[in-house]
Structure 1
Amino acid sequence: MGLYGQRAGCLSILCEDEMQAVAVKSQLQQIARPMYSNPPVHGALVVSIILNDPELKSLWLKEVKGMADRIIGMRKAFKENLEKLGSTLSWEHITNQIGMFCYSGMTPEQVDRLTNEYHIYMTRNGRISMAGVTTGNVAYLANAIHEVTKPN
C-alpha cells in the first residue's frame, strides 16, 4: 500500500554567495536531521487501521480495483483513438503494459513538441501518467501524439 501526498513541501532559499549558501545548507541539514532519525508514523498508522479492519480492507481493495480498471479502460481508449486517427505505428505496448505509467516509445524531440505545441507534459523518455488520462482528454492526447509521431 502506498500513501501519496505525504510530503512536507519544498523550501527554496536564495543566497547572495557560495559562502552564505554553505552556511544555510549546514543549518538546514541540522533542522532536517531529526526528521530522518524519527520518521513519521502517520502513514503506517493509517495502513495498519485499514488492513486490520475487514470492512475497511474490503473497501480499500474495491477502490484499488476500481482505479486499476479505470486505467486499463483509459489504455484501451488511448490505443483505439490513435488507431482511429490512422496512425501507422503499432500501439500494442499501450495495452500490453500494466500500471499507472505508460512508456510510449516517443523520442525526447517528440515529447518536446507535445509540450511546446499541445501543452502536454511528461518525462522526456516518453513516460505518460495514465492516472491523468480521462474520458475528457484522451482524444486530445491521442491526436497530439498522432501529430508528433507521424512520419514526415
Structure 2
Amino acid sequence: MDVDTRLKELGIELPEPVAPGGNYVPVMRAGDLLFLSGAGPARPDGSMVTGKVGDGGLSLAEGREAARLTGLQLLAVLQSELGDLGRVRQVVKLFGMVNVAPGFTDTPGVINGCSDLLVEVFGDQGRGARSAVGQAALPFDIAVEIEAVVLCDLSSSG
C-alpha cells in the first residue's frame, strides 16, 4: 500500500513533529523496532488540547479528537524518522494515557481516536496491542498522551 496516496485520499496532511518537552528523544531504534516517546494532542496552530475528559470537562468526542491529533503527531515522528511511512510493517503496541475527571472510565473510547486513525492509514498493519489508562494528571495538563512501538523495515536506513 502506498501510504502517501492513502493520506491524500483521507485528506490528511501531517503536522511538523512537536519538539520534546524534556531531556529525551522522540524516537529510539532497537533492531527493526521504533519506540516512540509519548506524544500529545497538538492542534494545527501548535496549541495543545488540555483539560480532563469527563464530568463537565472535555467530552468523549473531544477526547477522541485529542487522541486523533496525538496519532497525527506519532505519524509525523515516524515520517521524520523513516522518510517513508511505507516502511511501517506493523503497529506493535500503543500505550494511551487519558487525563480524566474522577469517575470517567471510557479511556478505550478516547484512545480509539488514535487507533482508528492508524487503521485508516495502514489497514490491519495499524492495529496492534494496546493499553488505555486514566490518569489524574498529564504533563502540561494535556488531555491525552500516547506512546507507540512500531515494527519497520529499517534494512536500508542509517
Flag whether TM exceeds 0.5 (same fold).
no
Relative to its length, the structure with more strand (as a share) is 2
The structure showing larger relative contact order (alpha-carbon pairs under 8 Å, at least 6 residues apart) is 2
Relative to its length, the structure with more helix (as a share) is 1
TM-score, normalised relative to structure 2: 0.27
